[in-house]
């Protein structure tokens, strides 16, 4: 019901003005055409063009439709003032250069609801009952396709309709970790692993490694692993996600060496 009232309340006020004007014109025509002089001019036998039985119910219906958006808006405003059950936070999401970021997903640490930005803006609605006692919440903005991420801490109080701006950046500080093993599942220690555009290192005795990817979380990077006696491997993996497993197959010896 509340959603219906919100839709009605958003009807342009010009509709209400037009409805009242139409009702006033119909009422005026009825009075003019129903006057004694008008009846004498057209004769008693001819019924009035706008009969009372038709006009006044029509006028009442038009006035009702014209007043409906006003009543709905007044009711919703009274709910907002009286109850204040929700915070409605207007969020503007921009990139590092200040341009609006559309399609960013907004989420908060106060609820499980998510909202997408349109032309860089969105309204995040949070029930007051879910806000911590200290009024502090955090709103996150993520656009995974562009590897953009940002956050803003908000102090909620008496203002139920605050506005904030979140600046997103492509932080290239993700790590990549994983394991190097042979085709039998045994760990390979001392293998050289490097991330193209990032760091390089060697695997531990258990075959594990952790390197700086030089990329944002979720961005695909190429990982190269090699060790003498094994065929080198290149494979792609998203940075900062689940660990990567790299399998090195033993290099085949030339037939002359085998003989």
Same fold, 86-167 and 175-250: yes
Residues 6+ apart with CB under 8 A from 249: 182, 183, 230, 231
46 confidence band (pLDDT: 50, 70, 90): very low
Beta bridge partners of 238: 220
Contact call for residues 199 and 234 (beta carbons, < 8 A): no
Domain spans, the chain: 2-82, 86-167, 175-250
Q: Does the pLDDT of residue 38 top 70, yes or no?
A: no
53 confidence band (pLDDT: 50, 70, 90): low
Q: Does the pLDDT of residue 210 top 70, yes or no?
A: yes
Window from 22-26, 67-71, 75-79, 221-225 with minimum mean pLDDT: 75-79
* Calpha distance 168→30 (Å, rounded): 64
User: Mean of the per-residue pLDDT values for the chain?
Assistant: 79
The per-residue pLDDT for range 163-183, each reduced to its tens digit, is 999 999 887 888 999 999 999
Q: Does the pLDDT of residue 58 top 80, yes or no?
A: no
CATH 2.60.40.1120 fits 86-167, yes or no: yes
* pLDDT at residue 109 in the model: 92
Structure tokens at 100: 């609006």
* Calpha distance 146→219 (Å, rounded): 9
Give the residue, 189 or 60, on which the prediction is more confident: 189
Rounded to 5 degrees, φ, ψ at 99 are -85, 145
Q: Could you tell me the sign of the dihedral formed by the alpha carbons of 131, 133, 135, 141, in that order?
A: negative
In 3D space, the residue among 223, 232, 222 whose CA is nearest the CA of residue 188 turns out to be 232
* Calpha distance 236→52 (Å, rounded): 81
Cα 12 from chain centre: 26
* pLDDT at residue 64 in the model: 63
Give the residue, 242 or 57, on which the prediction is more confident: 242
Q: What percent of the chain has pLDDT over 70?
A: 64
Average pLDDT over residues 141-150: 88
Fold observed for domain 175-250: Immunoglobulin-like (2.60.40)
* pLDDT at residue 17 in the model: 61
pTM: 0.49
39 confidence band (pLDDT: 50, 70, 90): low
Q: Which of 39-53, 116-130, 220-234 has the highest mean pLDDT?
A: 220-234
């Amino acid at each position: 019901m509340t959603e219906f009232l919100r839709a009605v309340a958003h009807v342009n006020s010009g509709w209400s003005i037009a409805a009242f004007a139409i009702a006033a014109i119909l009422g005026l025509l009825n009075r003019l055409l129903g006057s004694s002089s008008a009846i004498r001019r057209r004769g008693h036998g001819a019924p009035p063009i706008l009969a009372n039985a038709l006009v006044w119910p029509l006028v009442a219906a038009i006035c009702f439709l014209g007043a409906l958006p006003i009543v709905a808006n007044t009711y919703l405003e009274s709910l907002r003032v009286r109850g204040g059950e929700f915070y409605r936070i207007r969020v503007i999401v921009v990139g590092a250069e200040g341009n609006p970021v559309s399609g960013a997903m907004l989420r908060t640490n106060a609820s499980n609801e998510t909202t997408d930005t349109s032309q860089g803006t969105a309204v995040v609605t949070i029930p007051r009952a879910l806000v911590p006692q200290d009024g502090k919440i955090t709103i996150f903005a993520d656009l995974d396709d562009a590897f953009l991420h940002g956050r803003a801490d908000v102090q909620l109080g008496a203002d139920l309709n605050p506005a904030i701006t979140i600046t997103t950046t492509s932080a290239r500080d993700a790590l990549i970790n994983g394991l190097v093993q042979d085709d039998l599942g045994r760990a390979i220690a001392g293998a050289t692993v490097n991330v193209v555009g990032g760091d390089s290192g060697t695997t531990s005795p258990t075959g594990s490694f952790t390197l700086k990817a030089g990329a944002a979380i979720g961005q695909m990077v190429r990982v190269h692993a090699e060790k003498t006696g094994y065929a080198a491997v290149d494979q792609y993996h998203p940075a900062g996600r689940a660990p990567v497993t790299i399998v090195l197959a033993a290099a085949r010896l030339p037939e002359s060496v085998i003989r």
